[in-house]
Amino acid sequence: MSCSKIFSGDLPELIYEIIEYFQNDYSTLHSCILVNKLWCRLAIPLLWENPFSITTGNYNFIEIYLHYLNDDLKTKLNEYKIIDSLLTSNTLFNYPSFIRYLNTSKINPSIEMWLRANDVNLNMDLVFEFINFINMSLIKLFIENEVNLHTLELETYYNTCIDNILEIILQNPNFISNNIRNLKLSITSSSDSDNTLIKNRVTQIINSNQNLKKILFELNTLPLYQSLLLSKESNCSNTLNTIIFRNIDFKRINNLDKIFEQLNVLESVHIIFCYSLDIFVQQIIKLTKPFKLKSLFLLMRLQIESLQLLLQKSGNYLENFGDCLNYNDLSSDQQFLQLIINYCKNIRFLNLHSRINNITSLIFSLIENIKQNLNYLSIDLSNYEDNEYSNIKSILQNLGQTLPSKLEYLSLVLRIKVNDIEILLKNSQDNFFNTLVIKNTNQEDDNYIDILPYIKEYVMKKKRVKYLAIKNTLIRGCVRRKVDLFDLKDEVKEFKLHNIKVLSYNKLSIGIYRFLNTID
């Protein structure tokens, strides 16, 4: 297939498919730009598709955007008399046209950081006015460039800026009618009148969209927008295939069964740290069609009866599950895990933070039950009483024997003595982990990572991982000292010689909210 593309003249398409693999690896993308003109032309759009979310600390993209403002906005900009020397005089590409992801809550902070990085000092009375002016100018710039926006995130506390953003979007229906496929809503307003105004505007945005595929409801947005999906003007019923509920309280929320009944192409529902789930379940079990619950991450425990009803209806669809089993209720924990084992055979992402001493056998039974599908596993073994430590060695040994032979991602949060990690690594010598992330607490020497010799012996020399992150934390009273393997440059070089890439713990660790961004 690849050879046929080369000989048929499709080399640029082939190179782009390769470069796409580096979509979030900004240093590699920057290197691609320097290869030649073709690679530069293919890599630049990927670098500029989501600039407000790049965490490199470089905010110069703001001044490059300002270069493209129309004459009227530039005239207004000149009134502030502070950035003439900052504006870029020449550019190679139409950079504003490349944006695909826009989070409204990140625009103002990016502008503030850009001002700070360039030592720009404004009169306090002008700061808010200036930042909002730049914000709105950028929104207008994207609209004028007819950008093909993939994702729009309206995530901000209510203020006049978000109100103006909604208004200008509605004034330009082509901006959203066919382009935006993912919509994320997290808006908190200060009054009922504000609620009504926002609800009306967001309703219009949703109803004017012809191709909405995914929507995320967060915080108090569901009471505002539950009627949106029931609206006769909505186009969602035949386009929406993914719904995410995050930090939603389902108390006093009605008609959920009616909403889901009319969504004809819905393929996945994701519940992330929501409240009053027993009320949610009582409505969902009324559905006459399948309820394809793909993710369930719990902060508050359901009643056992409610969980059983939910899993009877949706357990076979569940792919991502997480729970904090710290309720000091052994009987409840056992029943809870047994239901997961009984009804959920297709879990791919498992996240458990618990005192697992009392439920060890059930944890291992769960992993054994799903190991054919399991790709991502995160376990916290650090939460135990001091008198329970004698069982940790047995737990580590059994865990090593129970793990699947291959995992895309393994994260371990530990509180063990240095030689105990050997037990786990010895008993999982035939396992390969694409990404291994370890956090250990309670080391004696805070200037070094004490488990490193065992990692080198059982992981590095056998090349059992591609990506590695390790962080150690020393706790002495109120003092915490942290050591990240990524900061030990000589060690990083040694792992590189074995084709293992060491990254910082914060970068490689996949939390639940970071996982959300991977949901299609």
38 assigned to some structural domain: yes
Higher pLDDT, 181 or 499: 499
Domain count for the chain, please give it: 1
| The predicted structure's pLDDT at residue 493 | 95
Q: Cα(104)–Cα(218) distance, rounded to whole angstroms?
A: 15
Handedness of CA 65, 67, 69, 75 (dihedral sign): positive
Q: Is the pLDDT of residue 82 over 80?
A: no
493 assigned to some structural domain: no
Average pLDDT, the chain: 81
| The predicted structure's pLDDT at residue 4 | 47
| The predicted structure's pLDDT at residue 384 | 64
Lowest mean pLDDT among 32-41, 224-233, 332-341: 224-233
Q: Is the pLDDT of residue 5 over 60?
A: no
Q: Is the pLDDT of residue 6 over 60?
A: no
- Most confident region among 363-367, 373-377, 512-516 by mean pLDDT: 373-377
| The predicted structure's pLDDT at residue 157 | 57
Tokens 């710290």 — which residue? Answer: 326
pLDDT band, very low/low/confident/very high, at 93 (cuts 50, 70, 90): confident
484 assigned to some structural domain: no
Tokens of 232: 């006769």
Distance of CA 308 to the CA centre of its chain: 28
pLDDT in tens, 158-207: 455 777 888 888 888 777 765 778 888 776 655 555 566 777 777 777 77
125 assigned to some structural domain: no
| The predicted structure's pLDDT at residue 473 | 80
Residue 272 and residue 298 in contact, taking contact as beta carbons nearer than 8 Å: no
- Average pLDDT, stretch 464-483? 82
Give the residue numbers spanning the domain of 12: 1-48
257 assigned to some structural domain: no
pLDDT in tens, 128-161: 888 888 888 999 999 888 888 888 888 655 455 7
Q: Is the pLDDT of residue 344 over 90?
A: yes
Residue 336 and residue 304 in contact, taking contact as beta carbons nearer than 8 Å: yes
| Sequence letter at residue 470 | I
Q: Which of 174, 110, 164 is nearest to 142 (CA)?
A: 174
Q: Is the pLDDT of residue 446 over 60?
A: no
Tokens of 95: 């950079």
Percent share of the chain, pLDDT over 90: 24
11 assigned to some structural domain: yes
DSSP-assigned beta bridge partners for residue 409: 376, 435
Transcribe 319-370 into DSSP letters. -EEEEEE-SS-HHHHHHHHHHHHHH-----EEEEEE-GGGGHHHHHHHHHHH
39 assigned to some structural domain: yes
Q: Cα(282)–Cα(294) distance, rounded to whole angstroms?
A: 18
Higher pLDDT, 496 or 445: 496
Spatial neighbors of 250 by CB under 8 A, at least 6 apart, are 222, 256, 274, 275, 276, 277, 279, 280
Q: Cα(179)–Cα(211) distance, rounded to whole angstroms?
A: 7
3-class DSSP assignment, residue 294 = strand
Tokens of 75: 């005239």
- Most confident region among 58-72, 87-101, 367-381 by mean pLDDT: 367-381
Transcribe 457-519 into DSSP letters. IIIITTT-EEEEEEEEEEEETTEEEEEEGGG-HHHHHHHHTTT-EE--HHHH---HHHHHTT-
pLDDT in tens, 215-265: 888 876 555 555 556 566 667 788 888 999 988 888 877 788 888 888 889
| The predicted structure's pLDDT at residue 510 | 83
Q: At what angle do helices 304-314 and 330-343 cross, to 10 degrees?
A: 10
What letter does residue 78 receive in the DSSP assignment?
H
- Average pLDDT, stretch 500-506? 92
10 assigned to some structural domain: yes
pLDDT in tens, 372-430: 999 999 988 776 666 666 667 777 878 888 888 899 999 988 777 777 888 888 888 88
Q: Which of 181, 111, 119 is nearest to 153 (CA)?
A: 181
